[in-house]
C-alpha cells in the first residue's frame, strides 16, 4: 500500500539527524530541528528528563496495556475519511435521483387563451390566495391507459378533461375550497393557440361541453376556459391520466370509501366502470380506485353529478389518509410516491421541479381537514347536459375570487375604516369609469360606463369621464385607487353612489381613481343593495366538509347485488 503523505498516518520512516538514526524503538538524543514528532513529544512536565518521556520512562517505552496514540489517531482519521466518502456518495445519489424525478415531470404552458383573469390583491399582511386547477384526462395514448380506460376505438384520439376541480387555498392558508365542474357543462370556449404547433382554435359561437377544452391546444386552454368563466386567476394546473391515478393510489396504500349497499357498476348493456364493492367502508387502490372515480352508473341517479360527489369523498378521504397514515413517513413509501407522482403528472412550467412541487404540497397541507370544503358548481339542466346556474354559480365564483371561506368560519372582518386623508372637493376629483359588466354568458351591458359617468357628473363630480376603450369583467362594482393620498377621494366617490367601502381597493393597476361598473349593476341609476347573507355558500353548491368521515355514497337499486 502506498504510504500516506499525511503526517502520523501509517508506518513512520526513520529520520536521520546529525548522523544518528532515531527510530520509534530506540533511545537517542533529543530532536533539535522541528521539535518532537507528533505522538512522541515531551509532556509539559518532563522538561528536566531529556531523552525520556511520559513521566521519566525511557523514550519508546509504553505502559502495559496502552495502545500507541498514533494508532488511535489513524483509526479516527480513516473513520473520518470513510464517513466523508459515504456522505458525498449519498449526496451524489440523492442529487441523481432528484434529477431523475425532475426528468419525469412533463410541462405545458399555463394559459394559452386570450383572456387572463387579474391577479388577486394581497391582503393587509401581503398574502395572496393560491389557485390550482386539477385536471383528470381520459387520454388513451398508451397501452396502459387504453387497458384501464376501455373504449378502444378512441385510442390515440383527442383527450377530454373529464375531471376539473379548482383548488383554492386562502391567502392566510387557514382554509381550502374546492369547486368541481361537471364534465358535460355547456360553455362558450375561448380562442386558444396550441403552443407546440401554433394551431389556432377560434372561440366557439355556441356552447360546447367544457371537457372538450383540453383538445384545443392542451391544459392551458382548460385554464383559459375557467378564467373566462369565473374571473379567478389560476396560478397552476396539475393534470393526471388513468394510469397515473392507479399508480398513485397504489403508492398511497389505498383510500377508504363507503357505499350504503352492495354495488356492481355494470348493466346488461355493458354500461358502468366495473366497480364491485360490498356495503360498508373499504380501502380502494389501483384499478379499483380508478373505477370508483369513474363510476357513474351505480350511484344514486347515475348522473355525472353523483360521480363528482364520489370524487369529493375520495379526495377528502385521501387527504385524511395522508395526514393520519404513519406508513407515508416510511422512506420506501415516500420514494415510491415521489416516483409515481412525478411520472403521472403534467404541470405548468411554474411547477417544473420536485422542489417546487414539494413547496406547493407544504402549502396545501396547512389547512386542517375541518377547514376544507368540497363543492360542485351550481347548475341547471339543459337537456341531458348542464350549464352554470345564474346567480348561484356566479356567487360561488365570487366567494372564491374574494377569498371568502366556503365553510362560513372566517373570522368576522372589521368594517373598513374611513381614510385619515381628507377628500378633495367633489369637483376636483378625477374619476375614470369603465364598463365591467361582461360575463362568460353575457356581453357587456351597452353604455354603462357613460351612464355612470353622467350620474357622477350630476352629483358634482365634474371631472368624471367614461373609458370606452375596453369592456372588462367584474362580478361586483369596484373603485380602485393607486396610492394612499387618493384613498379619501375614492371613498368619497363610493359614498356618493351608495357603494360599500369594502369595494374601495388599493391597486397598482390604475393611475388614478377608477370605478369599474360590475355585473351587479347592469342597469338603473342607483347602486343595488346587497342581501345580508351575501357571503354564504349557496345550498346548490352541495358542500361537503373535509372532516366528514360518515359520508357514504347512495347506491342505485338497479346496480346492487
Within 8 A by CB and 6+ apart from 260, the residues are: 279, 552, 553, 554, 555
| Helical residues (DSSP H) of 325-377, grouped into ranges | 331-344, 354-364
| pLDDT for res 50 | 42
Buried b (16+ CB within 10 A) or exposed e, 433-470: bbbbbbbbeeebbeebbebbbebbeeeebebbbbbeee
**In the Cβ-directed half-sphere of 360, how many Cα atoms lie within 13 Å?**
19
More confident residue, 424 or 8: 424
1 vs 451 pLDDT, higher one: 451
How high is the pLDDT of residue 84?
A: 52
Confidence of residue 69 (pLDDT cuts 50, 70, 90): low
Cα–Cα–Cα angle for 17, 23, 28, nearest 5°? Answer: 60
**Whole-angstrom distance, CA of residue 271 vs CA of residue 269:** 6
- Domain borders along the chain are 71-104, 107-401, 426-534
The DSSP line for 215-277 is GTTSHHHHHHHHHHHH-PPP-EEEEE-HHHHHHHHHHHT-EEEEESS-EE---TT--S---EE
Indicate if the pLDDT at residue 373 is higher than 60. yes
pLDDT tens, residue by residue, 436-467: 998 867 889 999 999 999 999 999 999 999 99
Nearest alpha carbon to residue 388 among 312, 475, 476, 299: 475
**Which segment of 137-146, 239-248, 253-262, 543-552 scores lowest on mean pLDDT?**
137-146
pLDDT of residue 492: 97
Do 496 and 504 meet the contact criterion of CB atoms below 8 Å apart? no
Alpha carbon 545 to chain centroid, angstroms: 19
Higher pLDDT, 167 or 316: 167
Distance CA 136, CA 183 (A): 10
51 falls in which pLDDT band (50, 70, 90)?
Answer: very low
Mean pLDDT value across the chain: 80
| pLDDT of the residue at 93 | 61
Residue with cell string 512536565: 45
Q: How far apart are CA 97 and CA 239, in angstroms?
A: 23
For residue 25, the model assigns a pLDDT of 40
Answer yes or no: is pLDDT of 79 > 50: no
What band does 253 get if pLDDT is binned at 50, 70 and 90? confident
- Rounded to an integer, what distance in angstroms lies between the CA atom of residue 325 and that of residue 235? 30
What span, in angstroms and rounded, lies between the C-alpha atoms of 242 and 251?
15
Assign 8 a pLDDT band (cuts: 50, 70, 90). Answer: very low
Higher pLDDT, 44 or 446: 446
% of residues, the chain, pLDDT over 70: 74
Decide if pLDDT at 332 tops 80.
no
Q: Pick the closest to residue 55 from 72, 42, 70, 37 (CA basis).
A: 42
Model confidence at 171, in pLDDT bands (50, 70, 90)? very high
pLDDT at 10 over 80: no
pLDDT at 306 over 90: no
Lowest-pLDDT range, 343-357, 522-536, 547-561? 522-536
CB 186 within 8 A of CB 254: no
260 C-beta neighbours (distance < 10 Å), count: 12
Instruction: Quote the pLDDT of residue 58.
Output: 46
Closest Cα partner for 159 from 140, 181, 187?
140
Classified by CATH at the fold level, domain 107-401 comes out as Aminopeptidase (3.40.630)
Distances in Å between the Cα of 55 and the Cα atoms of 43, 68, 159, 223 are 8, 16, 87, 84
Tell me what the mean pLDDT of segment 47-69 comes to. 46
**398 pLDDT higher than 70:** yes
What pLDDT does 361 receive? 83
Task: Please determine, for residue 144, whether its predicted confidence score (pLDDT) is greater than 70.
Answer: no
Report the distance separating Cα 521 and Cα 107, nearest Å: 41
Q: Where do we find the cell 375596453?
A: 470
Query: What is the average per-residue pLDDT within 117-138?
Result: 88
- pLDDT of 92 reads 57
Does the structure show a pLDDT above 70 at 485?
yes
pLDDT of residue 540 exceeding 90, the answer is yes
Fold of the domain spanning 426-534:
Alpha-Beta Plaits (3.30.70)
Could you tell me what percent of the chain has a pLDDT over 90?
Answer: 44
**Burial class of 533 by CB neighbour count within 10 A (0 to 12, 13 to 18, 19+):** exposed
- Please tell me the distance from the alpha carbon of residue 27 to that of residue 316, in angstroms, as a whole number: 82
Which of 35-44, 231-240, 434-443, 489-498 is predicted with the least confidence, judged by mean pLDDT?
35-44
Amino acid at each position: 500500500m502506498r504510504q500516506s503523505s499525511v503526517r502520523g498516518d501509517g508506518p513512520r520512516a526513520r529520520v536521520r539527524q546529525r548522523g544518528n538514526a532515531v527510530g520509534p524503538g530506540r533511545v537517542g538524543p533529543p530532536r533539535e530541528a522541528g521539535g518532537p514528532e507528533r505522538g512522541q513529544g515531551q509532556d509539559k512536565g518532563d522538561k528536566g528528563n531529556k531523552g525520556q518521556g511520559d513521566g521519566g520512562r525511557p523514550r519508546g517505552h509504553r505502559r502495559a496495556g496502552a495502545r500507541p496514540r498514533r494508532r488511535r489517531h489513524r483509526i479516527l482519521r480513516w473513520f473520518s475519511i470513510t464517513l466523508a466518502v459515504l456522505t458525498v456518495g449519498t449526496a451524489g445519489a440523492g442529487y441523481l435521483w432528484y434529477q431523475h424525478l425532475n426528468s419525469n415531470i412533463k410541462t405545458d404552458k399555463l394559459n394559452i387563451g386570450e383572456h387572463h383573469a387579474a391577479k388577486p390583491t394581497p391582503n393587509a399582511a401581503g398574502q395572496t390566495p393560491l389557485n390550482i386547477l386539477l385536471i383528470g384526462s381520459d387520454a388513451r395514448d398508451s397501452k396502459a391507459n387504453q387497458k384501464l380506460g376501455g373504449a378502444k376505438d378512441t385510442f390515440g384520439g383527442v383527450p377530454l378533461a373529464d375531471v376539473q376541480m379548482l383548488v383554492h387555498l386562502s391567502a392566510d392558508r387557514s382554509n381550502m375550497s374546492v369547486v368541481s365542474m361537471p364534465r358535460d357543462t355547456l360553455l362558450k370556449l375561448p380562442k386558444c393557440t396550441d403552443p407546440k404547433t401554433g394551431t389556432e382554435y377560434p372561440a366557439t359561437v355556441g356552447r360546447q361541453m367544457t371537457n372538450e377544452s383540453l383538445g384545443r391546444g392542451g391544459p392551458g386552454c382548460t385554464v383559459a376556459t375557467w378564467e373566462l368563466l369565473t374571473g379567478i386567476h389560476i396560478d397552476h394546473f396539475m393534470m393526471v391520466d388513468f394510469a397515473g391515478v392507479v399508480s398513485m393510489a397504489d403508492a398511497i396504500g389505498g383510500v377508504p370509501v363507503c357505499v350504503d349497499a352492495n354495488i356492481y357498476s355494470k348493466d346488461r348493456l355493458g354500461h358502468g366502470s366495473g366497480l364491485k364493492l360490498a356495503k360498508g367502508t373499504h380501502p380502494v387502490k389501483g384499478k379499483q380506485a380508478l373505477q370508483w372515480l369513474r363510476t357513474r352508473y351505480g350511484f344514486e341517479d347515475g348522473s355525472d353529478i353523483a360521480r363528482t360527489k364520489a370524487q369529493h369523498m375520495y379526495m377528502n378521504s385521501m387527504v385524511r389518509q395522508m395526514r393520519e397514515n404513519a406508513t407515508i413517513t416510511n422512506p420506501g413509501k415516500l420514494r415510491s410516491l415521489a416516483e409515481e407522482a412525478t411520472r403521472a403528472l403534467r404541470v405548468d412550467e411554474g411547477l417544473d421541479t420536485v422542489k417546487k412541487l414539494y413547496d406547493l404540497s407544504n402549502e396545501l397541507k396547512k389547512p386542517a381537514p375541518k377547514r376544507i370544503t368540497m363543492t360542485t358548481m351550481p347548475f341547471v339542466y339543459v337537456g341531458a347536459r348542464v350549464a352554470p346556474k345564474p346567480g348561484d354559480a356566479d356567487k360561488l365564483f365570487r366567494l372564491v375570487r374574494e377569498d371568502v371561506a366556503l365553510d362560513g368560519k372566517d373570522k368576522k372582518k372589521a368594517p373598513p375604516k374611513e381614510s385619515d386623508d381628507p377628500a378633495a372637493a367633489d369637483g376636483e376629483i378625477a374619476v375614470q369609469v369603465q364598463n365591467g359588466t361582461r360575463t362568460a354568458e353575457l356581453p357587456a351591458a351597452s353604455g354603462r360606463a357613460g351612464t355612470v359617468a353622467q350620474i357622477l357628473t350630476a352629483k358634482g363630480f365634474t371631472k368624471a369621464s367614461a373609458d370606452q376603450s375596453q369592456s372588462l369583467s367584474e362580478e361586483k362594482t369596484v373603485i380602485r385607487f393607486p396610492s394612499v393620498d387618493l384613498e379619501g377621494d375614492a371613498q368619497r366617490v363610493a359614498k356618493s353612489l351608495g357603494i360599500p367601502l369594502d369595494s374601495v381597493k388599493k391597486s397598482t393597476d390604475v393611475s388614478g381613481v377608477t370605478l369599474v361598473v360590475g355585473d351587479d349593476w347592469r342597469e338603473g341609476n342607483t347602486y343595488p343593495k346587497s342581501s345580508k347573507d351575501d357571503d354564504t355558500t349557496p345550498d346548490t353548491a352541495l358542500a361537503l366538509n373535509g372532516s366528514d368521515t360518515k359520508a357514504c355514497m347512495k347506491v342505485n337499486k338497479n346496480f346492487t347485488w
